[in-house]
Structure 1
Amino acid sequence: MNKTKQNKTEQNKLVTLNLKEDFSNLKKNGNTFRPVSWALFNYKKNIYTYSRFAWTIPSYLATAVIRNRLKRWCRTIAKEHKDLNNNDINIVFLRQKKDFYKNLNYETFSSGLKKALQNIQK
């Protein structure tokens, strides 16, 4: 692969939080708000020149198929907002009524997440 292709793929790559220390630091020292009834956002400025994303989806929320759909939707929206002023962002999905996440459509999901990400950007 030539160098320009490699740089483009590195620039387009979504960076995620994956260390336990990152999550605990974000929870302890970060800001928290709840823009929608079904999700909680933890965020904090980081020292990098890019944003890092994570999502916490406990297994009791829904079946694996539904949880994977939520992760896929999160990745799509995070890729659109990855230039978000170098923040660490964790989206925590909260317990809801039975079949809530199964019946959640993409338009409702994306409008809630985009509203929250715009709030973080301010």
Structure 2
Amino acid sequence: MGNRHLESLRKKSDFQEIKNSGKRIRLNNWLLLNYRKNESAKLRVGMTIPKKVGVAVVRNKLKRWCRECLRHGNIPGVDINVVFLGSDKNFFKKLEFRNFKEAFEQGINRIAKSL
């Protein structure tokens, strides 16, 4: 399970469908999860990280952290869009992995319970 490949959401229409017909979990003032059940048995993930979050290094770090947390999760058959909400640029720069992981896994567990 630790070596699981994640499929990406790539089309604008996929993101729009999740936003319009999916469910939403706002975990805190900086992280939002939009999700919906999909037809396949695969987990598909997209990330929305605006430049307001920080420089490319910070945005890429957040993407790596998301993929790492999702690899160890067990929620097949779901499309998830992870949305990072604009905050103080230094907030994401100073954010530690353990704090991110705790918040993110709380959201993943709520998604798993609602399916």
CA distance in 2, matches of 1:64, 1:98: 12
Q: Deviations over 1:22-48 (max 9, x none)?
A: 001111100012012211110000000
Instruction: Report the residue type matching 1:15 in the other structure.
Output: E
- Which sits farther off after the overlay, 104-113 or 57-66? 57-66
Matched, 1:47 2:39: yes
TM-score between both structures, scaled by the size of structure 1: 0.86
Identity of aligned residues (%): 37
Pairwise CA distance, 1:79 = 1.1
User: Which has more radius of gyration?
Assistant: 1
For the 8 Å contact 1:38–1:93, the answer to whether it is kept is yes
Tell me how large the CA RMSD over aligned residues is.
1.3
1:118 lines up with 2:100 in the alignment: no
Q: Which amino acid aligns with 1:54?
A: G
Structure 2 gaps, min length 5: none
Q: Is the 8 Å Cα contact of residues 55 and 92 (structure 1) preserved in structure 2?
A: yes
Q: Quote the Cα distance in structure 2 between the aligned partners of 1:53 and 1:27.
A: 13
Give TM-score scaled by structure 2 length.
Answer: 0.91
1:80 is matched with 72
